[in-house]
Structure 1
Amino acid sequence: AGSSPPPPAFAIEPLALDELPPKAQSAYKQYWPALQLAADSYVFDLYDLLDNPGRWDSIGALTESTDIGSAASVSALEREYLTPMRILTLSFPPDAGGDEMQLALDRFQASALRLSLLARRGQTTGNVAQPSAAEVAAVKKTWDEGRQSINAFFDALNTGTSTQRLVGIPAKVEGYPRSKKLYTQLRKDAALCRNRGGEALAGFWGNLMVYGTVPGVNPCGNVNLANYFDQ
């Protein structure tokens, strides 16, 4: 008889959400909307730009620091992706997905930083020369590596909570079930809310984790965080 296959590097022990430690339960309830919104952003804000070097500056901007009201200057990468991923990773026991989340987080961060660097190097804004086919392929490959890391993080979190709430990103975004129309409207409503001095003066988008699970939150528009995740 052949020998048994080696065990996986990490074995997640699936638990019902209410069986997890209180810290993990609280972090999950507060931050899962931020993660799904990050995946939506990775698809709807970045994927369509991969074939358009004239707009690669928008990809490069992922790691640029920005001021949000009185808050500290942080990049969109840090604010919208890494912070919620880190908090969840630190909140979950290693055998309930924490180890796999850490691995996925490390890989995603490396991919995102490289993606931003490659995009800045190859962007054609103000330039005449187009990036080479190899440079375009490298940007696409790096974006896809980030996609796979997001999916790995989602898989670990879904398994660790015995849920299927988080929706991963398919290869080439084919069949991604989330609505770009709703996402675009949410972005517009968030900007409108900021301009009106609405509920999150420090940045509605950046403070998703504060408002994401509060029923009836009105971001000064028709699409809000109370209904966006019902799609």
Structure 2
Amino acid sequence: MRSLCFIFVAVGSAGALRHSPKFPQVSTSTSRQAVLRAAFVSVLLPSSIGLLPYQPAAALEALGFKDLPKNTKQAYDQYWRPLQLGADFYVFELRDQISNPQKWDLVGSLAEGKSIGSASSPSRLEREFLSPMRILSLAFPPDAGGDDLQAALDGFERAMFNIGRLAKSAPGGLETPKAEQINMVLNQWESGRGYLNTFFDTINTVTLTQTLKTIPPGGEGYPRSKRLYTQLRKDAALCQNRGGEALAGIWGQLMVYGTVPGVNPCGGTDLSTYFTQ
């Protein structure tokens, strides 16, 4: 509300100045766009939440799972796949959504949970990123990567908060964000990428594994397949529409929805291949 009020006041003040004899007349559309840009920068992106610096993974002792607590290995086995899938989304979907202002509503909704009656579900950000990262950071001893993981999690969460905040507060209606505004959000994406990489590097180093694949600048050269990711998302949506794995199998046997006999009704993506690419 404060941000909207500021924008309305700024636009109104600009209108008053334009009609004052002490100020030259300028194009209404041009000056309004300038005011909106100024409001976007000054209110929504103060210097305190600018591009967030991050530190690479610290020099950690490579221990391996044999020297780590048992619950560390259990947490790793349970959550490394969801985290890698989250990184795939970060590269293959989120960056494209940020680059296309018409999809900023999707970006802004990442941190929004859903309520169905008295029940509520966590946001996609919480479900696919923050919760797995939080559990893993607690599973590692503080002096064996735990503190580094927590610091990376905190930085990533701040960057994602900034991304959502900027996307939600962009000019609406016929007004579209300008190039500099898009770049602000992309800068936050880069900051989040750095923190996510630090999180992955820390885990890879301490566990003597190289399973988690980090994200190059701009996502260019990311060593995972966008084609497989797209197919996996389609298969997941298909399976969900058919009631999950168990019900989908029944529908497939009954040849409902045109399912071809012998074809997996939840799609044919090989998960073992997907996560080892």
Distance 1:143 1:186 in 2: 23
Select 1:48's aligned residue among 87, 90, 96.
Answer: 96
CA-to-aligned-CA distance 1:64-92 (integer Å, 9 cap, x gap): 11359x97411000000001000000000
CA-to-aligned-CA distance 1:125-151 (integer Å, 9 cap, x gap): xx1112133311211111111111100
Select 2:147's aligned residue among 96, 99, 104.
Answer: 99
1:66 is aligned to 114
Residues 190 and 72 of structure 1: is their aligned pair in 2 closer, same or farther, counting only changes over 3 Å? same
Between the two proteins, what is the percent identity of the paired residues? 55
Cα offset, 1:226, TM superposition: 2.9
Relative to the length of structure 1, the TM-score reads 0.82
Relative to the length of structure 2, the TM-score reads 0.69
Distance 2:208 2:223 in 1: 21
2:266 is aligned to 220
Trace 1:108-147 onto structure 2 (pairs within 5 A).
108-122=156-170, 124=172, 127-147=173-193
1:177 is aligned to 223
Cα offset, 1:123, TM superposition: 6.2
Select 1:38's aligned residue among 83, 86, 111.
Answer: 86
User: RMSD of aligned C-alpha atoms?
Assistant: 2.4
Residues 152 and 20 of structure 1: is their aligned pair in 2 closer, same or farther, counting only changes over 3 Å? same
2:237 is aligned to 191
Residues 149 and 71 of structure 1: is their aligned pair in 2 closer, same or farther, counting only changes over 3 Å? farther
Cα offset, 1:172, TM superposition: 1.1
What SS does structure 1 have at the residue aligned with 2:109?
helix
CA-to-aligned-CA distance 1:74-113 (integer Å, 9 cap, x gap): 1000000001000000000112211110000000001101
Higher-RCO chain (CA-CA 8 Å, sequence separation at least 6):
1
Alignment size in residue pairs: 206
Query: Are the counterparts in 1 of residues 57 and 198 from structure 2 also a CA contact under 8 Å?
Result: no
Distance 2:200 2:188 in 1: 19
Task: Identify unmatched segments of 5+ residues in structure 2.
Answer: 1-55, 248-263
Does structure 1 residue 18 correspond to structure 2 residue 66?
A: yes
Distance 1:96 1:161 in 2: 10
4+ residue runs of structure 1 moved beyond 4 angstroms?
8-11
What SS does structure 2 have at the residue aligned with 1:131?
coil
Residues 220 and 123 of structure 1: is their aligned pair in 2 closer, same or farther, counting only changes over 3 Å? farther
Query: Are the counterparts in 1 of residues 84 and 212 from structure 2 also a CA contact under 8 Å?
Result: yes
Cα offset, 1:224, TM superposition: 4.2
Which amino acid in 1 is paired with 2:169? Answer: R
CA-to-aligned-CA distance 1:21-49 (integer Å, 9 cap, x gap): 10101001111001111100101111112
Residues 47 and 158 of structure 1: is their aligned pair in 2 closer, same or farther, counting only changes over 3 Å? same
Residues 148 and 9 of structure 1: is their aligned pair in 2 closer, same or farther, counting only changes over 3 Å? closer
Task: Identify unmatched segments of 5+ residues in structure 1.
Answer: 1-7, 202-217
Task: Specify the structure having the higher radius of gyration (Cα).
Answer: 2
Distance 1:92 1:49 in 2: 33
Distance 1:51 1:88 in 2: 31
Distance 1:123 1:41 in 2: 26
Distance 2:119 2:84 in 1: 23
